[in-house]
């Protein structure tokens, strides 16, 4: 079945790095863009980044630009989020989601179960 | 990249209809017909309920409908059922290939 599975979360200290992975199955991964969306404890959803189906374009929310890097390896059906210089405010559950419709990057039709990142000293 | 504005809570009795609003600006909601709505149960991943303002993905009941007027989009849930009790989030295309979410609305079925 169509599925996204995140991994790589954990507890880290401020200023350190972490790389999240998003493994896809059940669909042609190389044909779809991928988003990362996060949700801080008890808070709402926040869009973080998007990568085009072929990796040709990436976009970020202002608060992570320059610290986070989104990438993908279509040969491994996997997208990544490299997070550097982590801050306490990056603590959240991180979801990856598929861009569902060619008309716009909005409209995320498949979501993973999320992986938890906790930044604390 | 300011969050869209949603009411923190909404409620209705079984069988009733309830509408949840999502207010943005001319740079996001008002500028494009790309508004989505997501349903999220506690500790679960969000689920797409509406995309492109008023389109329903396959499998979403037709009790869920979307609309938009100027800078405000709305999700209407008709014939409320107990299983509709969840958080609902709107999102919008915000230009330059970016997306912005609303703060979320907790829907309670009385």
Quick: pLDDT tens for A50-98: 999 999 999 999 999 999 999 999 999 999 999 999 999 999 999 999 9
Nearest residue in chain B measured CA to CA from A63: B1
Please give the order of strands across the beta sheet that includes B18-23. B18-23, B72-77, B64-69
Between A and B, how many CB-CB pairs are < 8 A?
79
Kindly tell me the sign of the dihedral angle through the C-alpha atoms of B103, A69, A87, A39: positive
> Given an 8 Å threshold on Cβ–Cβ distance, is B99 in contact with A50?
yes
List beta partners, residue A69: A82
Tell whether A34 lies on the interface with B, counting CB pairs under 8 A: no
* Mean pLDDT (whole number) for B38-49: 98
- Predicted pLDDT of residue A74: 97
Measure the CA angle with vertex B64, ends B60 and B69; round to 5°. Answer: 130
> Given an 8 Å threshold on Cβ–Cβ distance, is B99 in contact with A57?
no
Tell whether B23 lies on the interface with A, counting CB pairs under 8 A: no
Tokens coding B62: 């037709």
Nearest residue in chain B measured CA to CA from A46: B101
- Predicted pLDDT of residue B41: 98
Buried b (16+ CB within 10 A) or exposed e, A38-69: bbeeeebbbbbbbbbbebeebbbbeebeeebb
CA distance A79 to chain B (A): 18
């Amino acid at each position: 079945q169509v599925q996204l599975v995140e991994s790589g979360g954990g507890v880290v200290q401020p200023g350190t790095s972490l790389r999240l992975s998003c493994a896809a199955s059940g669909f042609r991964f190389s044909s779809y863009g991928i988003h990362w969306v996060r949700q801080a404890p008890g808070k709402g959803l926040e869009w973080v980044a998007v990568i085009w189906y072929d990796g040709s374009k990436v976009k970020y929310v202002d608060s992570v630009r320059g610290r986070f890097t989104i990438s993908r390896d279509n040969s491994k059906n996997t997208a990544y989020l490299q997070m550097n210089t982590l801050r306490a405010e990056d603590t959240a559950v991180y979801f990856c989601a598929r861009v569902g419709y060619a008309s716009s990057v909005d409209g995320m039709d498949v979501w993973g179960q999320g992986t938890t990142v906790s930044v604390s000293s | 990249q300011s969050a869209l504005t949603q009411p923190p809570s909404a409620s209705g009795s079984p069988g009733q209809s309830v509408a949840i609003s999502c207010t943005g600006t001319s740079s996001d909601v008002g500028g494009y017909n790309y508004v989505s709505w997501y349903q999220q149960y506690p500790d679960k991943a969000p689920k797409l309920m509406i995309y492109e303002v008023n389109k329903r993905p396959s499998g979403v009941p037709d009790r869920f409908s979307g609309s938009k007027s100027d800078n405000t989009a709305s999700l209407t849930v008709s014939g409320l059922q107990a299983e509709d009790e969840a958080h609902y989030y709107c999102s919008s295309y915000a230009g330059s290939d970016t997306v912005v979410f609303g703060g979320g609305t907790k829907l309670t079925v009385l």
